[in-house]
Amino acid sequence: MTDLPFTLDQLRILKAIALEGSFKKAANSLYISQPAVSLQIQNLERQLNTPLFDRGSRKSQLTEAGKLLLRYGIRILALCEETCRALEDVQTLQGGKLIVGASQTTGTYLMPRLIGLFRQRYPQVTVQLQVHSTRRISWSVANGQVDIAVIGGEVPSELQEILQITSYAEDELALIVPKSHPFSKIEKIKKEDLYRLRFIALDTQSTIRKVIDKVLNQHGIDSTRFAIEMELNSIEAIKNAVQSGLGAAFVSVSAIAKELELGILHWSRIEDVTIKRMLSIIVNPNRYKSKAADTFNREILNLFVSPIKLLTYRIY
């Protein structure tokens, strides 16, 4: 077998340049000097006998050969990381690392509680939480960069045959108004009452917004008629806007447990309408499944299949 024309360090540097967009930023991210980065790339190009970057471009633009090497390099580095974690995991849960993924709302309000429970039982395991869009988290699981994830959106169609998708729990979406709002005195409002409200909403591309619109339309409610006062990209910003009396909003019940307990916000029920979405657990069955990931799924996720039950569970 001939010697490989590249090293893992060179692949790491190539990946860093592609991610950071420049040699200087890549050097900073790797805590090495810029001349060292340039020298490694020069050696790599000489070993491969082909240019990897377009020297005529102001930015660090990859050539076709560079893009090809980067694509394989990312897979090689991911497999190396997976190998190291598998070796750490051989004996027991006396160490190792667990990488958990989650979509935005789930990652902000549910996963910290789940991880807290896991860390109580296995304090020696390092846990990393990645919170991104459902699409990005799904790709991270597919590529082996995340062990296990809980998502609230739909897995991209191109990954549905690759990933193992398991229904986890129903997450109810609540209509919230300020405690001082007249609706807080009514047990259940009518569908027609929704058209009288001013709404604070997530942007139209958000997963939760799409679920809300779909379910409301199924119940004969035309969400396009709602008076949208403003669109925000943060659940916390939406809650604060509602508390300030700027409007009403639909948010996940998991995001308002504390506010409901303190009486800051009011959950207005709608006659004959319940808005729910299904949370799912995703893993890649073709990747190594660490003992930490298996234990997290079996001992933590399977215990708490209700977001409300989880959020009312006390950690001491």
Those residues of the chain that have pLDDT short of 50 are: 1, 312-316
The sign of the CA dihedral 230, 233, 209, 182 is: negative
Helix (H) or strand (E) holding 34: helix 34-48
Tally the domains of the chain.
3
Same domain, 291 and 159: yes
Same domain, 227 and 180: yes
Same domain, 287 and 157: yes
User: How far is it, in rounded angstroms, from Cα 295 to Cα 310?
Assistant: 18
Q: Could you tell me the CA-to-CA distances from 71 to 12, 18, 42, 75, 129 in Å, in that order?
A: 12, 11, 19, 7, 25
Q: What is the pLDDT of residue 309?
A: 52
Residue 163 · residue 283 · CB < 8 Å? yes
Same domain, 156 and 176: no
Residue type, position 45, single letter: E
Q: What is the pLDDT of residue 90?
A: 55
Q: Could you tell me the CA-to-CA distances from 23 to 10, 12, 44, 286, 295 in Å, in that order?
A: 13, 12, 14, 35, 41
Q: Is residue 245 assigned to a domain?
A: yes
The structure tokens 């998708």 sit at 165
Q: What is the pLDDT of residue 2?
A: 56
pTM exceeding 0.85:
no
Q: What is the pLDDT of residue 89?
A: 64
Q: What is the pLDDT of residue 139?
A: 94
Written as six digits, the tokens of 239 are: 């809650």
Q: What is the pLDDT of residue 203?
A: 86
Same domain, 113 and 43: no
Same domain, 177 and 252: yes
Q: Is 96 helix (H, G, I), strand (E, B) or coil?
A: coil
